[in-house]
Copies of this chain bind each other. A is one copy, B any other.
């Protein structure tokens, strides 16, 4: 067994070790309880015996297990008190959402583009060129609306690719989707304003809006996307709706044309606003991308948002926002007050990257790469997890939804997987107020080989092993 890839991921023997240790600390394995034999567990997990043997040795060495010869191996009677189990953990949010902690990508990490194929040399060359040529401009206060050439590049990209026609002055650059929401919230909303929010929805946005004091109105999502009729019944006078029409986050559904029209009609009638989060619309593997909701927004009620985090790299911290014409002045003032600044160096490099055609090439390349990686992961997961999951395959996006069968609880599986080094998410955590469906959201963008797909699928399968032996 030579699975010991140190990055990303954790050696398999250590994953087994961690899984046991956690079960013991959580009280799911009790002192005196007998654990499976090395041979039986190796067979169950389809691992080499040496791998399981190493894990058991470590557990015995640290006093979690005791070897009793022919009586088998049991959980020790003298255990350390349950405490903070892992030194890398941070409080509170961990159980439900993927953290952004500056670490290298985790296996199956959600929402992260394929960093292994990011055109680093080209990018570094462009940054270097920009830094030499930009003079003082990249060092003084950046324009709070964003760097003009990037705003222009975004406006023309959106016109060509997304059917969004806007003037450059309507485009604002922000430091990521959170900053975009902040600018919108401060410019348009006040505490207690009602906001339609997809249920299930994007957890980061939900946390941000909740913290800002918005009254989130969960609106169910069905096979056609956001159920606009339900939204109207629940909160007809909501001030704003946040939607992901291209690939509903997290279900991956496209909002149907009928629903799009109904949503726009509602906003026009109520003079409410719509935030269109078009976060990964560029990735669609079957058929053509739908034009943005914004493209049918004749009365200018839609605030269109996108980000370079999903299509280039999140480390750039660059997102964009198109505001209705009549709001330009209001958003400009608020951008000044908030000091809505992104370092110009990176904005300028992205502008060049787009202008010189690298962006379009990169997207094309990623589209075919992701289609391939997705299929690798699907095959590997089906092979390792078999009937425990059913894979929901949608037209696009950057993650798969694995529906859980056989009574597996997604939060528990996600927690187990996290302890094994994965960054995956429980679908039920994306629901507000209701229990929601059971599923696991897994990213496929970083599955860089068939071998890795197999390895990760095998590791993920460990998260599904209950270790609850019948007493």
Binding site for B on A (CB under 8 A): 90-93, 99-105, 112, 115-116, 118, 120, 124, 127-128, 131-132, 136-144, 147-148, 175-179, 182, 186, 191, 204, 207-208, 211, 309, 313-317, 329, 332-334, 336-339, 341-346
Q: Bound complex: CA of A238 vs CA of B370, how far in Å?
A: 55
A99 interface neighbour in B115, B131, B336, B341, Cβ under 8 Å: B336
Closest to A211 in B: B337
Closest to A116 in B: B136
A85 to B: closest C-beta gap in Å = 17
A115 interface neighbour in B118, B132, B140, B332, Cβ under 8 Å: B140
Complex A-B: 12 CB contacts under 8 Å = A102-B140, A115-B139, A118-B136, A127-B127, A137-B315, A139-B315, A141-B314, A175-B341, A178-B339, A178-B341, A208-B339, A317-B342
Q: Bound complex: CA of A137 vs CA of B191, how far in Å?
A: 37
Q: Bound complex: CA of A329 vs CA of B90, how far in Å?
A: 8
Closest to A336 in B: B93
Q: Bound complex: CA of A182 vs CA of B175, how far in Å?
A: 14
A136 interface neighbour in B92, B104, B131, B136, Cβ under 8 Å: B104
Inter-subunit contact B332/A315 (CB<8 Å): no
Closest to A339 in B: B178
In the assembled complex, which residues on chain B have CB atoms less than 8 Å from the CB atom of A127?
127, 131, 345
Closest to A146 in B: B102
Inter-subunit contact B140/A315 (CB<8 Å): yes
Inter-subunit contact A175/B175 (CB<8 Å): yes
A90 interface neighbour in B139, B177, B332, B346, Cβ under 8 Å: B332
Inter-subunit contact A100/B339 (CB<8 Å): yes
Inter-subunit contact B102/A336 (CB<8 Å): no
Inter-subunit contact A346/B345 (CB<8 Å): yes
A337 interface neighbour in B101, B176, B207, Cβ under 8 Å: B207
Inter-subunit contact B105/A136 (CB<8 Å): yes
A150 to B: closest C-beta gap in Å = 11
A188 to B: closest C-beta gap in Å = 13
A128 to B: closest C-beta gap in Å = 6
A336 interface neighbour in B100, B116, B120, B177, Cβ under 8 Å: B100
Given A105-B136, A317-B142, decide whether A186 and B211 contact each other with a Cβ distance below 8 A. Answer: yes
A144 interface neighbour in B100, B339, B345, Cβ under 8 Å: B100
A102 interface neighbour in B91, B137, B186, B334, Cβ under 8 Å: B137
In the assembled complex, which residues on chain B have CB atoms less than 8 Å from the CB atom of A309?
141
Inter-subunit contact B208/A333 (CB<8 Å): no
Closest to A132 in B: B124
In the assembled complex, which residues on chain B have CB atoms less than 8 Å from the CB atom of A118?
136, 139
Closest to A181 in B: B339
